């Protein structure tokens, strides 16, 4: 089986499982984040009715320096589901005042990952290496790239956990 065929087969299996599930049908959200889906999500977060993003930004504005102060100096930062990186920018900006950091945004959307890399481009003391993977696969890759003695800070910002069913959130 070719890699493309294997991916298509896995996609078909996951869609079939979600649509034949008893009760509430579902599709894994990872299949919604192509170029159009990623941009659509960004637009939704800017709507007046979607205040969550603005609340998150206020929290990060208030506490990013405190987060940075607690982070070790020799640190790799992995972010699960970075999106475009606008929220993370506050934390990385605060971290970069004191020391250099390596930032690994982990994202399933190539479009969002590219936007995140552009968003962070001008933070001089932060190097960015995007990882286009699902959360746990990406985290394993970041862990494998850690340098000797380098700490790992994992960020999971935002409301992504709300996309999980309660049982799946607990397992995650």
Task: Look at residue 31 in the predicted model and tell me its pLDDT.
Answer: 77
Q: Answer whether residue 77 is part of any domain.
A: yes
pLDDT digits (tens, 9 = 90+) for 24-46: 888 877 777 777 877 887 788 88
Which segments in the chain show pLDDT lower than 70? 3
Q: Answer whether residue 25 is part of any domain.
A: no
Q: Inter-axis angle of helices 52-70 and 88-96, to 10 degrees?
A: 20
Q: Answer whether residue 79 is part of any domain.
A: yes
Task: Look at residue 77 in the predicted model and tell me its pLDDT.
Answer: 94
Q: Answer whether residue 47 is part of any domain.
A: no
Burial tier of 88 (Cβ tally within 10 Å: 0-12, 13-18, 19+): buried
Name the domain count of the chain. 1
Q: Answer whether residue 31 is part of any domain.
A: no
**What is the C-alpha to C-alpha distance for residues 32 and 66, in angstroms, rounded to an integer?**
34
Task: Look at residue 170 in the predicted model and tell me its pLDDT.
Answer: 85
Q: Please state the φ and ψ torsions of residue 43, each to the nearest 5 degrees.
A: -65, -45
Q: Answer whether residue 76 is part of any domain.
A: yes
Which contacts of 54-60 are long-range, i.e. CB under 8 A and separated by 24 or more positions? 56/87, 56/157, 56/158, 56/159, 57/86, 57/87, 57/90, 60/87, 60/90, 60/91, 60/157
Q: What is the DSSP string of 38-106?
A: HHHHHHHHTSTT-THHHHHHHHHHHHHHHHHHHS-SSEEEEEET-TT-TTHHHHHHHHHTTS-EEEEEE
Task: Look at residue 66 in the predicted model and tell me its pLDDT.
Answer: 94
Give the residue numbers spanning the domain of 149: 52-158
**What is the C-alpha to C-alpha distance for residues 39 and 34, in angstroms, rounded to an integer?**
9
Task: Look at residue 72 in the predicted model and tell me its pLDDT.
Answer: 87
Q: Which pair of structure tokens corresponds to residue 146?
A: 């850690």
Task: Look at residue 34 in the predicted model and tell me its pLDDT.
Answer: 75
Task: Look at residue 4 in the predicted model and tell me its pLDDT.
Answer: 74
Task: Look at residue 32 in the predicted model and tell me its pLDDT.
Answer: 75
Q: Tell me how long the chain is.
A: 172
CATH number, domain of 146, equals 3.40.50.150
């Amino acid at each position: 089986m070719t890699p493309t065929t294997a991916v298509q087969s896995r996609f078909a299996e996951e869609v079939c499982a979600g649509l034949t599930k008893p009760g509430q049908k579902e599709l894994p959200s990872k299949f919604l984040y192509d170029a159009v889906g990623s941009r659509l999500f960004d637009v939704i977060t800017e709507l007046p009715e979607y205040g969550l993003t603005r609340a998150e930004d206020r929290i990060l504005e208030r506490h990013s320096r405190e987060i940075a102060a607690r982070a070790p100096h020799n640190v790799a930062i992995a972010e699960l589901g970075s999106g475009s990186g606008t929220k993370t920018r506050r934390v990385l900006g605060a971290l970069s005042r004191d020391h250099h950091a390596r930032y690994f945004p982990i994202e399933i959307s190539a479009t969002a990952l590219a936007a995140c890399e552009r968003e962070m481009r001008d933070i001089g003391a932060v190097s960015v290496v995007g990882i286009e993977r699902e959360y746990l696969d990406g985290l394993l890759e970041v862990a494998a790239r850690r340098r000797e003695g380098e700490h790992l800070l994992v960020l999971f910002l935002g409301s992504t956990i709300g996309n999980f069913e309660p049982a799946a959130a607990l397992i995650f």
